[in-house]
Structure 1
């Protein structure tokens, strides 16, 4: 039975896609499709509750799981890598940052490719990067091989994120349960579940491996990333389909109608007098389209998305990827306390924050939730800076501040940076918008990952005074820029502009 339409929505009114007069919205009456605008209105109003579409969402989140796992899996092993390969602070940071350098390349290229050639093709290809890079990193005989494979892994991550975000947005309706903001925000709990899974594997291996083999623990954890990548790659072939909105924008209305039927459970028919081979004017993706992100129409949105992403990622890279380093080196704790603390912080507070963020974003909006998150993060980091090197009970307070930071990140700026980057642009610009945002974000990530070990070695816990400035600036940027993408039908806005 096709999904019922939200009674409060008038998205199908005044459209050739609406049912015949007198028919109920949930009746088995084909919705007529004559244009890309009709497809946009159908998707905004109805979305999908079909099991195949649910599988697409889960597979998109599976890609996010792999992105997060591969980013964070090496974090615990950095001290051992530093000893094994005899690295100084700069080279340790380079090992950590190499995946980000690859992600810059992958995101910028992937953003263009996903809009140019479609979501499906790129989605089917990027898992190969994860498999090859995970195994290569685990077997790396020396530091430059490790850096090289981590760079390849970053390319895979950079390619995957624009695709995953496009699928999460374009396989969801505009409002109501399971809306676009909620599903795009779902990337956050998936990210922290993956990070927590990595630390859980570390904990199991720590208990099972003999003491003499502990130096190889990081290789096992990194190499394990190939296993879920292979699974996701195989399952994708059965359930994935191209985004109907992208197909419609490219002029393939027949393909869009077919996906609406096969993956959305929506009975739709192409009007007999409509040609399915005419590309919508302006839909063809070009590299120059990135300039449109800074046109008067999109400039405020792009600046807001960049501010949230850059200020969020600077603090996150320092705290999240550096959590084991912080607990072990700055807080002077042993390996077991470091592993368990990192596991609880990510799997407990990160996952909880992400789920809460999903549940409240539709009610309060991405901007307000992000502003609250930045405020909590700044308070937590300034508290850590004031504590300095913790002793006795203050260790618990310091770890609690790390947990508060991750909780606020997962539900606030960390989750909503994707909402700003994904939902601020129409389908024809979504890949480029996410890719440009992610490329810029990863470039700043490289700087933070390279700089944090060096600053930590020089400043100790005083580094938190510097890191705390990032969420503070993020909060200020949102006070000044009031753009909020939550609930905005940017595709309808774009199609109306083209029609005019």
Structure 2
């Protein structure tokens, strides 16, 4: 991209290869706005997926549910997100980033409201599943839109900010769990309803965002792309320039050649992260409850401390991702996660303090790399025409890992004890470490077009 400075008499010559050379104050303000509203969606993801962990001990107390019931309640939204990510991720490449970006928030509002008024276990499971469809869709939609509007120098920070807000949402679930605890039996319903209120606010502000110029160019709408570029940069676009339309890549090519290698990498590391993280975090309150004498407040505080350390990990990662690089960050992340899980598994008679410290260490390491780069790598490594589809596929595979984590943990504990479950997750963490050492590329400060393996010029200069 080349361009005139603001106030120059000559129009800027813009392409969609990045926003680095037209780095106006107006553009930076717009990029912050896109990131903030996209992060609002991931905040909701974190809140809605974590709030069920906070609510579960209360639901158990009221409905006297079985271990299988617990697994279904916790996993229902994750199963829904698997479907939402793959289905709506593909529709995002077909019909536009903005359309799906707004529509998926409606699912948050409607189904979060319905979960709060569920009258039995199965309505709760069904409504949580439908809420999950919207949750899953927001991953590829928001991450893709942010990456396509970001400059190369700040793309890592913008992308990881989305993941960071996921953990803010998770912490918020525990904070509001404490604040609403005095409501007694209605507390868990109030918590679920709060997710709908947050979603409505984000929905109102998202409606006014424009379509991605990269998507517009890919669909032959050059005039619309120029207009979006002019509005977001504040710089006039040369009317004679022809924006280069990228090639249309069939989705099946995600499983071939270099794209296939990248697909295996993003699906593999995200699957391993999600299996370990969800298996532990979704049951942290349940694990800690016996050590607190089933004191509801103390359990929420202990679990909240673990979530806060997870947030700290994501903040650390956000601040080094555009300086240190993606590859060393993700390798360190999985190494620390695996070591923490091994230490946990080796201690067969832990105390409350030990559990909180080691769970916190595990999620700090996991979230510093694997938990934030899942919003960066899937959008950096694939061409525009299938970017959201690839991100949606990776999200869906990660949901399989999440489902495995939440289903495996209570059943492993019931059959063989907590240590067997922790050894299982340690092996999963080790698998993620091996995948990252073998396949993680470095994408620091490279444009999306340079990273596109189907781009002949980029491939020649690589």
Q: TM-score, normalised by structure 2?
A: 0.92
Aligned to 1:360: 320
Matched, 1:185 2:160: yes
Distance 1:140 1:73 in 2: 15
SS of residue paired to 2:238: strand
> 357, 380, 385: which is aligned to 1:400?
357
User: Going by fraction, where is helix more abundant, 1 or 2?
Assistant: 2
* Cα distance, 1:46 vs structure 2: 3.8
Aligned to 1:29: 10
**CA separation of 1:456/1:173 partners in 2, compared to 1, >3 Å: closer, same or farther?**
same
Aligned to 1:166: 144
Kindly tell me the number of residue pairs found equivalent between the two proteins: 455
Aligned to 1:91: 69
Q: How does 1:28-67 map to 2 (within 5 A)?
A: 29-33=10-14, 38-40=15-17, 42-46=18-22, 49-50=25-26, 51-67=29-45
Aligned to 1:226: 196
**Alpha-carbon deviations, 1:306-345, whole Å to 9, x = none?**
1210110010011111111121147755222211122222
Aligned to 2:456: 497
Distance 2:80 2:36 in 1: 25
Distance 2:185 2:415 in 1: 26
* Cα distance, 1:26 vs structure 2: 8.0
Matched, 1:235 2:205: yes
**Alpha-carbon deviations, 1:34-72, whole Å to 9, x = none?**
xxxx222x4354466422332121101101111111111
Contact 2:156 2:322 in 1 (8 A): yes
Contact 1:72 1:195 in 2 (8 A): yes
Contact 1:423 1:488 in 2 (8 A): no
SS of residue paired to 2:417: helix
* Cα distance, 1:160 vs structure 2: 1.2
**Alpha-carbon deviations, 1:410-451, whole Å to 9, x = none?**
211111122221211122221011000011111222222122
SS of residue paired to 1:224: helix
> 226, 230, 242: which is aligned to 1:257?
226
Matched, 1:318 2:299: no
Contact 1:18 1:32 in 2 (8 A): yes
**CA separation of 1:233/1:422 partners in 2, compared to 1, >3 Å: closer, same or farther?**
same
Contact 2:337 2:361 in 1 (8 A): yes
**Alpha-carbon deviations, 1:284-310, whole Å to 9, x = none?**
x7xxx3321122121221111112101
> 288, 300, 325: which is aligned to 1:339?
300
**CA separation of 1:258/1:281 partners in 2, compared to 1, >3 Å: closer, same or farther?**
closer
Aligned to 1:484: 442
SS of residue paired to 2:13: strand
**CA separation of 1:301/1:159 partners in 2, compared to 1, >3 Å: closer, same or farther?**
same
**CA separation of 1:77/1:371 partners in 2, compared to 1, >3 Å: closer, same or farther?**
same
Distance 1:452 1:29 in 2: 63
**RMSD of the alignment, in Å?**
2.3
Distance 1:471 1:331 in 2: 28
Aligned to 1:4: none
Unaligned 5+ runs, structure 1: 1-11
Unaligned 5+ runs, structure 2: none
Contact 1:174 1:489 in 2 (8 A): yes
Distance 1:47 1:350 in 2: 33
**Alpha-carbon deviations, 1:97-118, whole Å to 9, x = none?**
1111111110011111111111
Aligned to 1:421: 378
Matched, 1:410 2:371: no
Contact 1:134 1:226 in 2 (8 A): yes
* Cα distance, 1:406 vs structure 2: 1.4
* Cα distance, 1:28 vs structure 2: 5.5
> 424, 428, 434: which is aligned to 1:466?
424
Aligned to 2:94: 116
The structure whose Rg is larger is 1
* Cα distance, 1:139 vs structure 2: 0.5
Aligned to 1:202: 177
